[in-house]
């Protein structure tokens, strides 16, 4: 699939505000992101040119279980266009993006909409935990009481045992992402915190505290993709998909070779690097799946930005800050921007689209001279992952 390099471009992107959106239903959230995406296309885009919709969603909170993608396409005025719901747990948006890219490469479409949407705040806490829990092994893990915080807590304690990682190093991640989220008007949490805030907050599953965990959120995101050779018809500054990859791993954590490595991320990122002809040192910013702080630390290693076991020190030295060696989650990540499951992966594309165009709304969040961005999203305990690399036009 090497011929796929730079065959597809992103020409527009929109993102609803993430958070507790009692003011909006599923269709409202999607429309909010869709309208912003259309408005972001500099030279304009006639909606009649959109060939297909690929929409990531895990559950839609029961508002529209079947045919939710068709409902959303109809709501934004595209009755008759094919619309597909894509589900891969928290990686749903990433796999929707992959499906949209593939459809253009295959010649089925010239222009597509890739989206993601979720309503998670209008259900009970137990119901929200059930949504997340169904993405882990049901028979041997969930039914025996192992929760998502519990799985990632096991990963954290093992990483501490093997490599000497500290709770303070995990706290630095939360502090960084909250600092970035505080400057992001789309973010669920918009306040800065300190290391002491993290360390002194209640434990959810040792060693992870409340501030080591991302929230559940409502939200939607949309990206407009097209054939690269027609991208300049829509904008003078398209962002190209230079490489992408995807992989899966064992659903059950106990079947893994290692608790401190996400093999799906390793495989998917190496596929993406190979297609793009790039290396980790070439990446200026990465939006990655920090559902828990330990996830960001492990992925910083697995995506190749530092050696295995060095993630804690690499982060503590400031290398993942905006202006560091690689800016990790300048949006605030899942930790602060929020995590509306199906929308999260497409929301990462929204952030990268604006970072590479140099027009992030708050200059304090703009990564200086950004030309190459990466999006990583995963479902379950690193079970299903996608990685996409984007470059400036």
- End-to-end CA distance of the chain: give it in Å, rounded: 21
- What's the mean pLDDT in 34-57? 96
Q: What share of the chain is helix, strand, coil (3-state, %, to 5)?
A: 40, 20, 40
The residue extents of the domains of the chain are: 2-123+215-392
pLDDT in tens, 100-141: 999 999 999 999 999 999 998 887 667 666 656 556 677 777
- What's the mean pLDDT in 140-156? 85
User: How confident is the model at residue 393, as a pLDDT?
Assistant: 74
pLDDT band, residue 200 (cuts 50/70/90): very high
Distance (Å) of CA 338 to CA 57, 206, 290, 381: 15, 22, 10, 18
**Mean of the per-residue pLDDT values of the chain:** 93
Q: Worst-scoring range by mean pLDDT, 124-128, 202-206, 277-281? A: 124-128
Element (H, E) at 75: helix 68-75
pLDDT in tens, 340-390: 999 999 999 999 999 999 999 888 899 999 999 999 999 999 999 999 999
Is the separation of the CB atoms in 55 and 115 below 8 Å? yes
Task: Identify the three-state secondary structure at position 222.
Answer: strand
What is the percent of the chain where pLDDT is above 70?
94
- What's the mean pLDDT in 246-271? 94
Q: Which residue has the tokens 């992107």?
A: 13
* Residue 182 reports pLDDT greater than 70: yes
Active site residues: 90, 339
Taking residue 80's Cβ as centre, other Cβ atoms within 10 Å add up to 7
pLDDT higher at 41 or 64: 41
pLDDT higher at 62 or 7: 7
Give the whole-angstrom CA distance, residue 102 versus residue 388: 13
* Residue 91 reports pLDDT greater than 70: yes
User: How confident is the model at residue 40, as a pLDDT?
Assistant: 97
* Residue 286 reports pLDDT greater than 50: yes
* Residue 143 reports pLDDT greater than 90: no
The phi, psi pair for 117, rounded to 5°, reads: -155, 145
Considering the domain delimited by 2-123+215-392, tell me its CATH architecture: 3-Layer(aba) Sandwich (3.40)
Indicate left, alpha or beta for 303 from its phi (over 0: left) and psi (-120 to 50: alpha): alpha
User: How confident is the model at residue 127, as a pLDDT?
Assistant: 67
pLDDT band, residue 2 (cuts 50/70/90): very low
- Mention every residue, 6+ apart, whose C-beta is less than 8 A from residue 199: 167, 168, 171, 209
The phi, psi pair for 317, rounded to 5°, reads: -80, 0
CA 331, 13, 386, 379 dihedral sign is positive
SS (H, E, C) 301-361: HHCCCCCCCCHHHHHHCCCCCCCCCCEECCCCHHHHCCCCHHHHHHHHHHHHHHHHHCCCC
Give the whole-angstrom CA distance, residue 149 versus residue 294: 11
User: How confident is the model at residue 65, as a pLDDT?
Assistant: 65
* Residue 62 reports pLDDT greater than 90: no
pLDDT in tens, 209-226: 999 999 999 999 999 999
User: How confident is the model at residue 63, as a pLDDT?
Assistant: 66
User: How confident is the model at residue 1, as a pLDDT?
Assistant: 41
User: How confident is the model at residue 139, as a pLDDT?
Assistant: 74
Task: Identify the three-state secondary structure at position 141.
Answer: coil
The model's pTM is 0.95
């Amino acid at each position: 699939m090497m011929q796929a390099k730079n065959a597809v471009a992103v020409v527009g992107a929109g993102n609803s505000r993430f958070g507790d959106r009692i003011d909006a239903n599923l269709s409202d959230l999607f429309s909010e992101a869709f309208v912003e995406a259309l408005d972001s296309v500099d030279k304009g885009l006639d909606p009649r040119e959109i060939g297909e919709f690929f929409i990531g969603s895990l559950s839609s909170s029961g508002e529209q279980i079947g045919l939710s993608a068709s409902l959303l396409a109809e709501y934004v005025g595209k009755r008759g266009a094919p619309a597909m719901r894509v589900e891969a747990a928290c990686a749903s948006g990433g796999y929707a993006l992959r499906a949209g890219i593939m459809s253009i490469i295959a010649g089925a479409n010239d222009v597509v909409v890739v989206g993601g949407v979720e309503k998670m705040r209008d259900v009970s806490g137990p119901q929200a935990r059930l949504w997340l829990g169904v993405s882990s092994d049901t028979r041997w893990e969930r039914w025996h009481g192992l929760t998502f915080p519990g799985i990632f807590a096991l990963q954290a304690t093992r990483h501490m045992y093997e490599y000497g990682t500290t709770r303070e190093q995990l706290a630095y991640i939360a502090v960084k992402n909250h600092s970035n989220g505080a400057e992001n008007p789309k973010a669920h949490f918009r306040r800065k915190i300190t290391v002491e805030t993290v360390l002194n907050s209640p434990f959810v599953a040792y060693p992870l505290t409340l501030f080591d965990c991302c929230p559940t959120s409502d939200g939607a995101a949309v990206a407009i993709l097209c054939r690269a050779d027609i991208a300049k018809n829509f904008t003078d500054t398209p962002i190209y998909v230079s490489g992408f990859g995807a992989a899966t791993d064992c659903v059950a954590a106990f079947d893994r070779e290692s608790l401190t490595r996400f093999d799906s991320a390793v495989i998917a990122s190496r596929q993406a690097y190979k297609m793009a002809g790039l290396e980790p040192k070439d990446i200026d910013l990465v939006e990655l799946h920090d559902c828990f702080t330990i996830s960001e630390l492990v992925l910083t290693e697995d995506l190749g930005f530092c050696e295995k076991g060095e993630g804690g020190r690499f982060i503590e030295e400031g290398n993942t800050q905006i202006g560091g060696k690689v800016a990790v989650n300048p949006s605030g990540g899942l930790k602060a921007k929020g995590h509306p499951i199906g929308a999260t992966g497409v929301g990462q594309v929204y952030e990268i689209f604006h970072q590479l165009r140099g027009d992030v709304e708050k200059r304090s969040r703009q990564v200086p001279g950004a030309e190459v961005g990466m999006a990583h999203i995963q479902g379950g305990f690193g079970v299903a992952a996608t990685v996409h690399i984007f470059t400036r036009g």
